[in-house]
Structure 1
Amino acid sequence: MSDVLLLDVGHGNCTIVRDEQAVAVIDAPAGSALLDALDALGVTHVDQAVISHADADHIQGILALLTSDRISVGTLYLNPDRDRTTAVWRELIQAISVAARHSGFKTCPSLTAATQALQVGAITMTVVCPSVALALSAAGGAAPGGGVNSANTLSAVIKVERFADVGVLLAGDLDAVGLRDASTSQARLVASALVFPHHGGLPGAAAQSKTFGVQLLQMVNPSQVFVSNGRSKHSNPRPEMVEAILDHGCALACTQLAKACGEPSSHDHLEAWPAAGRNERHSCAGTVSLKLTETGAVRDSGFEALFRAYVGSQVASPMCIRTKH
């Protein structure tokens, strides 16, 4: 049984963490991939749902989960965002109010490094960022170490692991100000796999991009990096981010095929899980399942081989390798 599902949801992030005793969901954009995957798993109750920050591509699917008539939610974890005025944020608040009327549901409006580690059976989810000091300065405020906070600055960064420092780090939309705070607060980001922040896009000013990528990779030191991106949204991952990842010696896989890599051609290499890009052949790695072992977060070797063969033979200009196979 896989422990972590990194879902292909197009532009956005969504992760399912599961043990034999419990299930958790972290982020989800609009679309059916999350509920479809939970249905495929036979899940009727999600013990913990986590929203890293208030952007629509991280919360809209959680809104759908909260209002689902076939899946219940135990506890929702999120940080408040007093300056958020979007319609989807207002709808989320309303959905939380409705869900709160049902017994068994509760909301925890605090998601910082001081939050108690969340247990998903034998799997631990630890919020390593933001620090309490950064969270208290709020979106729009001045960060303790300098700079102005955005919602991305306060994005929760979560380690998912069975064994210390060899799990998966979900970096949300962490930006350069948030990374500086992580360094100052000595947050331990070490993990064997990293879901790269902001879909491989800019972490702030363009001039910071390469430096940001290098610093983040030094702090995490992963062996593999995943980018949750949408082929039809923006131009992610950015070349400078890809360069930093490859320079660090990491294996790289994107959920969907970046436009810079070429035209879509196949979906025969994908795992069987729901993937938003499957029908239009926009998926590259697609939805990825990982097992948390003592040596790292490991993908099934057969699917990994199929994926690498697809990239090597059917992708015209793959960004994830420096030379064609």
Structure 2
Amino acid sequence: MHKLIVMDVGHGNSTILVDSGGAMVIDAPSGATLMEALEQLAVKELAYIFVSHPDADHIGGLTNLLLNQDITVRRVFINQEKAKNSKAWTDFRVAAGDARRRGTEIHTELTTTLSKKLGCGEVEVEILSPFPENVLGGVGEKLLEGKTIQQNTMSVVIKIVYKGVPIALIPGDMDASALDYMLKEGADVTAAMLVYPHHGGHCKADNEAFVKSLTEAVNPSIVVFSMERGRYDNPQPTVVKSVKEAAPDAHIICTQLSMRCSAELPSGTPSHLLAFPSKGVACNYCCGGTVVIDLDTDMADLKKVFSRHSKFVAERITSPLCRA
């Protein structure tokens, strides 16, 4: 079984990757959905947990995951965040200490120096950002090119490669400064799937320019917005519009149904959803729900995987942004 799973966790991000050499998790927000998925997959051991950045919608569930006695976590990789001061961060630190005493390796560096040195089986993990010189500066300091380092500048950008094929770019909440720095350093961000940062919301820089630059550089066949219906009103129409202009042939899929696309929920349970944990199922909030990719699928045919989702959007959603 070789699968990449982008979870419907509501407002947050969480990705599971299962390969012959083990399983890994990228980010873990609060809620039961991630644990339900790991149970369904019969995962009893995680080779890696990667943390993009310490916002609650990315680390809120790590405490329960690390304290869970039924799952062995071998390694956790996370960058230190000296500017972070939140309950979720404190709880994570306590859980990390407990996990360390039980044998989990806690690594407080996740930068480009580790790129291609991490992975499970035939999966290769590339760390495209942040660069070590910027981590040495930290939030509030200057990038070497003069811009101020924000918390999102430090968000880890992960690229998943399987058998030499670039499968997915998972950029956390990367901002425009981080993207510019990566591209100037010659980073190859191309991938079949882009899990869009900020849940489809605005970043602080020129948003349309950021969306265009990111989408064109990745050149994805699939763009996933991990978002929660009714929260922060995501994805923003300007973001979706810019994605469509930059990648007109890409299939856009939101984990939950945006209020902007349909004020009313579709009647009945949509038949296109996979039999896999999705937070939005209980309230019939799903649009695409949890996204599951078989890594052995020909990435050139990836859009065919979502044909049932395309049919659902065309027939049952009143004003879908992805078709505007």
Q: Which TM-score band applies after superposition, normalised by the shorter structure?
A: over 0.9
- Distance across 2 between alignment mates of 1:120 and 1:165: 15
**How do 1:45-194 residues align onto structure 2 when only pairs under 5 Å count?**
45-103=45-103, 105-117=104-116, 118-164=118-164, 166-194=166-194
* Deviation by residue 1:118-154 (Cα, 9 ceiling, x = unmatched): 1111111111111222222211222222322222111
- State which drifts further: 140-149 or 254-263: 140-149
1:315 to 313, 317, 322: 317
2:231 to 218, 222, 233: 233
Aligned 8 A contact 2:221 2:303 in 1: no
- Distance across 1 between alignment mates of 2:115 and 2:306: 34
Provide the residue aligned with 2:244 in structure 1: 246
SS in 2 for 1:260: coil
Provide the residue aligned with 1:25 in structure 2: 25
Structure 1 or 2: more helix by fraction: 2
Aligned 8 A contact 1:2 1:289 in 2: no
Task: Tell me the TM-score normalized by structure 2.
Answer: 0.94
- Identity of matched residues, %: 32
Q: Which amino acid aligns with 1:318?
A: P
Task: Tell me the TM-score normalized by structure 1.
Answer: 0.93
- Distance across 2 between alignment mates of 1:232 and 1:55: 20
- Distance across 2 between alignment mates of 1:295 and 1:135: 37
- Distance across 2 between alignment mates of 1:147 and 1:116: 24
* Deviation by residue 1:230-255 (Cα, 9 ceiling, x = unmatched): 11310111111101111121210010
- State which drifts further: 185-194 or 287-296: 287-296
Provide the residue aligned with 2:308 in structure 1: 306
- Residue 162 to residue 254, structure 1, CA distance change in 2 (3 Å): same
- Show structure 1 runs of 5+ residues with no match: none
2:295 maps to 1:292? yes
SS in 2 for 1:216: helix
- Residue 176 to residue 116, structure 1, CA distance change in 2 (3 Å): closer
SS in 2 for 1:81: coil
SS in 2 for 1:259: coil
- State which drifts further: 65-74 or 10-19: 65-74
- Distance across 1 between alignment mates of 2:202 and 2:59: 20
- State which drifts further: 258-267 or 307-316: 258-267
Q: Which amino acid aligns with 1:291?
A: D
- Alignment RMSD (CA, Å): 1.6
Provide the residue aligned with 2:7 in structure 1: 7
* Deviation by residue 1:60-107 (Cα, 9 ceiling, x = unmatched): 11222101121110000000000111011011011111111113x101
Alignment length, in residue pairs? Answer: 318
- Distance across 1 between alignment mates of 2:3 and 2:301: 10
Report deviation, 1:201.
Answer: 1.0
Provide the residue aligned with 1:215 in structure 2: 213
SS in 1 for 2:322: coil
- Distance across 1 between alignment mates of 2:48 and 2:178: 24
Provide the residue aligned with 1:259 in structure 2: 259
SS in 1 for 2:128: strand
- Show structure 2 runs of 5+ residues with no match: none
* Deviation by residue 1:148-207 (Cα, 9 ceiling, x = unmatched): 2222111001011114353111011011111121122221111111001111111214xx
